């Protein structure tokens, strides 16, 4: 279950970066920009939780 979650979160982060870059390229709002900004904050938090969970599973 950890592997699929990892790829989902990486996909969310890459999608967020893509939307932000598209907004910069367009020079204004691009559809999905606000959600992308939210994902930039939530993505690393979720990644940290998954990595911590994996570490605790390995140590058991």
Q: Is 6's pLDDT higher than 70?
A: yes
Tokens representing 54?
């994996």
DSSP letter, residue 60: -
Question: Can you give the pLDDT at residue 50?
Answer: 81
**Considering Cα of 55, then 15, then 19, then 37, what sign does the dihedral take?**
negative
* Better-predicted residue by pLDDT, 1 or 16: 16
* Number of independent structural domains in the chain: 1
**Each residue of 31-51: pLDDT tens digit?**
989 999 998 898 888 888 888
Residues spanned by the domain of 13? 2-59
pTM (whole model) above 0.75: no
Structure tokens at 14: 């890459």
User: What's the pLDDT score for residue 60?
Assistant: 67
**pLDDT tens per residue, range 12-36:** 889 999 999 999 999 999 998 999 9
């Amino acid at each position: 279950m950890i592997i699929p979650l990892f790829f989902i979160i990486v996909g969310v982060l890459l999608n967020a970066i893509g939307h932000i870059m598209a907004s910069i390229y367009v020079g204004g709002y691009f559809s999905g920009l606000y959600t992308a900004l939210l994902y930039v904050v939530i993505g690393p938090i979720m990644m940290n939780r998954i990595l911590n969970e994996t570490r605790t599973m390995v140590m058991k």
